Copies of this chain bind each other. A is one copy, B any other.
Amino acid sequence: MTGIFLHRPLPAARVPQWDFDTDVAILGFGATGACAAIEATMAGTRAMVFERNSGSGGASALSGGEIYIGGSGGTDAQRAAGFEDRTEDLATYLKMAGGPCVDEAKCDLYAQKALGHYAWLKAQGIPYRGNYLPGKHIEPVDDSTLIWSGSEAAAPFCDAARPAPRGHVIQHGGWGGGRPLIDILEARARDLGVQIHCDARGLALIEDEGAIVGLVVRIDNQDRFVRAHQGVVLATGGFAMNAAMRAKYCPETLRLNSPIGDKDDGIGILLGMGAGGEAIHMEQFFSTCPWTMPESHAYGVFVNTLGQRFINEDCYHGRVSRAALDQPGDRVFLLLDNAHFGQPLEMAGITIAGTGETWEEVEAELEMPAGTLSATMAFYNSHASQGRDPLFDKRKPILTPLDQGPFIALELNFTTSYFSFFTLGGLNTSLQGEVLDRDGTPIPGLFAAGRCTSGLPAWGHGYSSGLSLADCTFFGRQAGHSAGVRAGRMHVGEVA
């Protein structure tokens, strides 16, 4: 590597020997890498996966295993529950959720293909019970399939696109469906003959005549050289664990201390940039706090430290949490009455900040000026009792007066409560999963998907549960397929 281009690909002419030979090399073995490997193999080529950890999973295994699916009339689970989900409604919602960072073409493609993607996931062996679990959940409390997982039914989304629940969760019973999801994808990849190398850390790409033709990995403390005749797929996740990258690209996350990930160090983004790829929307991140556990807390009202409301609390818990981080100060308060309070989830780090027989007493206990929080709640209650929220358009049934004392204010502190996060910015890719340079031209032989790219969940304020795994699995497949059908560069054999 020349001194001047950090993370610039190693010229193939400098490769001392090829230690591995494959058609498609995939860096990272979370959901993205697994799906890419399966598709590359199904395209008739050899695929090899290199994973830094000692096993598969990545951040995907830490998730609930929920995938955002709908459109085309609805999945079996949606139709059985009476939701005829239209493709245009899904596309419209995805575009609103993508906000100013949206890639409309990706939204349109996914909306058109999501049902087929669901069938593909089932064909890989992922089980779905097929039923609908009503209510407001972060993850299903049992082995149910379908839940509301975004802000579809809340303003302003519900006025622009007919809402439907779209979170589809693997049948396994209880929390943490990400691990079994990955296990099934891994088993499928192994069945198809994908070669898997764990404890193999990606160091550099290898280029030859303007195309990516391989990968340098570190195994047993030695550099090993992987020849990938048809290209490399980057599937290494985001940069939530890389403090230097966060400081330079996404400094708002520095006050949060619960990154979702383990070794999400952004290496794929750095390698892609070094090869001429463009990283976009790097400042975007998803963040959420599990304040809707117990579920009755969803009926609460959020105020900032000035006693002002800031969002319709009936939207997705992550959207509320993300908006909370934009408020002045270092905390927000969740206000509840006796009818809706329950002990918050202990691991959430949510504490009781104040109580009172009246909202005036709560206000005083929080040391807010008289006439702030109490006025907010008087205004809220008087309108909620008429079924209206003129400020934020919160809707029934979650819109309900909080007037049955005693009252309580829970504190969600940005630093000490459990505000988990992961990054959303990354490499700019085509619909086919090709890494694009700043001119929008694909870099031959280089593909990427998942959180090392900017994909469907591009905008922190518009995240919905299952959107990242939808992006990882669907565009992981796209990238693997594109690499799998690409004509190999057979002349690369003649290097020193």
Contact = CB atoms under 8 A, between A and B. Distances in A.
A270 B428 CA distance: 15
A46 interface: no
Interface in A254-304: 254, 270, 273, 275-276, 278, 280-283
Interface string A355-390: 000000000000001011001000100010000001
A213 to B, nearest CB: 12
Contacts of A275: 4-5
A8 B270 contact: no
Given A100-B252, A249-B280, A306-B391, A4 B372 contact: no
Total identical chains? 2
A210 B3 contact: yes
Contacts of A283: 281-283
Nearest to A266: B438
Nearest to A210: B4
Contact of A276 (B8, B211, B248, B379): B8
B254 A211 contact: no
Nearest to A326: B326
A379 B373 CA distance: 12
Contacts of A254: 100
Nearest to A212: B4
A437 B5 contact: yes
A379 B375 contact: yes
Contacts of A306: 391-392
Nearest to A443: B4
A222 interface: no
A345 interface: no
Dominant SS among interface residues on chain A:
loop
In this complex, which of A308, A369, A391, A438 has the most chain B Cβ atoms within 10 angstroms of its Cβ? A438
A379 B371 contact: yes
Contact of A444 (B4, B5, B308, B437): B4
Contact of A4 (B276, B281, B326): B276
Contacts of A195: none
A159 interface: no
A301 to B, nearest CB: 14
B441 A6 contact: yes
B7 A438 contact: yes
B379 A100 contact: no
Given A248-B428, A280-B249, A4 B379 contact: no
A280 B4 contact: no
A236 B211 CA distance: 31
Given A369-B390, A379-B371, A391-B306, A207 B251 contact: no
Interface residues of A, number: 45
A101 interface: yes
Contacts of A308: 308
Interface string A123-152: 000000000000000000000000000000
Interface centre among A210, A283, A437 (most CB of B within 10 A): A283
A2 interface: yes
A191 interface: no
A439 interface: yes
Contacts of A5: 275-276, 437
Nearest to A442: B4
A55 B248 CA distance: 35
Nearest to A306: B391
Interface string A204-234: 0001001100000000000000000000000
Contacts of A441: 3, 6
Contact of A391 (B3, B372, B428): B372
A438 B210 contact: no
A392 B304 CA distance: 12
A449 to B, nearest CB: 18
A437 B4 contact: yes
A409 B90 CA distance: 40
A489 to B, nearest CB: 13
A25 B107 CA distance: 45
A399 to B, nearest CB: 15
A306 B306 CA distance: 15
5 contacts: A5-B437, A6-B438, A6-B441, A281-B283, A369-B383
Q: Which 5 A-B pairs have the closest CB atoms?
A: A100-B251, A369-B390, A283-B283, A4-B210, A5-B276
Given A7-B438, A282-B283, 4 more contacts: A6-B439, A101-B251, A281-B283, A372-B379
